[in-house]
Amino acid sequence: METVLVEDVLHRFLLERAGVRGVLVRLGAAWREVAGRADYPPVLRSLLGESLAASALLTGNIKLEGSLSIELKSQGPLRLLFAECSDQGKLRGLARWDGEVPAPLSLADLPDAIMAITIGHADRGQRYQGLVDLQHAELGQALENYFSQSEQLPAKVLLAADGEHAVGLMLQRLPGEGGHDAAHDADAWPRVVHLAETLGGAEMLATAPEELLYRLFHEESVRLFAPRPLAFGCSCSRERVESMLRSLGREEAEAALEAREGEIEVTCEFCARRYTFDRIDVEHLLNHASVSAPDTAQ
């Protein structure tokens, strides 16, 4: 009997005997929607898939209002990578590159690279941002180091992606978490990490979440919580584009109208949705901005 692999889902779980909590993410259609937006070089496509899975993975054990994003910028061939997961389980992402992207791609070798994890609700001005140390080649290693420094808790992060799926597994040791014997089992965390390290990328991509967890940790009393659905989704809106056009000011907006024969078209890079504004639309926006300005300043 053929096993049907569940896609676009986040599983939280406990290894009660070991005192370890974890999150497992498996992306299918949501990842293919993101991957299909550009003809990415294979090595960059894999990194983008891993980043998208990681963005969902990191939401698994935090109270999130808004979104969590992973953003990488560098002066090398990989110019930008962005992956985001919202509190509603909506995912989006993209990457930009210039020239040939080296394979294998090491994060540690990217010139002047900066990676940030941003958590919060940008529209409300509530944001927390942490920088990720890029001394390691792989994203999973960089995230492990991030958790070690920011939370002083060890973590194990495994990521894998191909053209069809993107998968992530994260384990964290927490004091007092899990079963009664966890605090007295000094070998619990090393044992769980060793079991996780036996897992290869191909196996992660080919195995259903429940089967994968029980195959690895069946002796650790796996307690699986209800799955959380994930899906591709973009937070762009006409209101956000209007706000951007107002911020340009009259001179730049009118110059854009002249350059585009009386119409401004803005296309979202994440979902390809198009927003068009003619002269009447732009005039209304600019007049509304000037009328609203005194109230905003008070």
Would 2 be classed as within a structural domain? no
Please identify every stretch of the chain with a pLDDT value under 70, giving residue numbers as ranges.
1-5, 122-125, 175-184, 289-298
Q: Domain end: 215, 232, 249, which one?
A: 232
Shortest CA distance to 154 belongs to which of 190, 201, 196? 190
Q: Which domain holds residue 251?
A: 238-291
Is the same domain home to 113 and 228? Answer: yes
**For position 122, what pLDDT does the model report?**
58
- Integer CA distances (angstroms), 170 to 223, 282, 283, in order: 15, 47, 51
Point out the domain boundary residue: 184, 205, 232.
232
CATH code where residue 114 lies:
3.55.30.10
Residue 26 lies in a domain: yes
Residue 292 confidence (pLDDT)? 40
188 and 260 in a single domain? The answer is no
In a domain, 298, yes or no: no
For the entire predicted model, the pTM comes to 0.84
1: in domain: no
- For residue 96, the model assigns a pLDDT of 96
Is 224 in the same domain as 270? no
Same domain, 125 and 228: yes
* Residue-wise pLDDT tens digits, 240-254: 888 888 888 888 888
Residues 247 and 149 in one domain: no
Q: State the total domains in the chain.
A: 2
Residues 166 and 49 in one domain: yes
Q: What is the DSSP letter of 47?
A: H
Residues 159 and 167: beta-carbon distance below 8 Å: yes
Q: How far apart are CA 85 and CA 170, in angstroms?
A: 16
Segment 70-83, tens digit of pLDDT: 999 999 999 999 99
Question: In this structure, is residue 271 part of a structural domain?
Answer: yes
CA–CA gap between residue 100 and residue 188 (Å, rounded): 44
**CATH for 267:** 3.90.1280.10
Residues 213 and 252 in one domain: no
- How much is the pLDDT for 124? 65
Same domain assignment for residues 150 and 203: yes
User: pLDDT at position 184, please?
Assistant: 63
185, part of any domain: yes
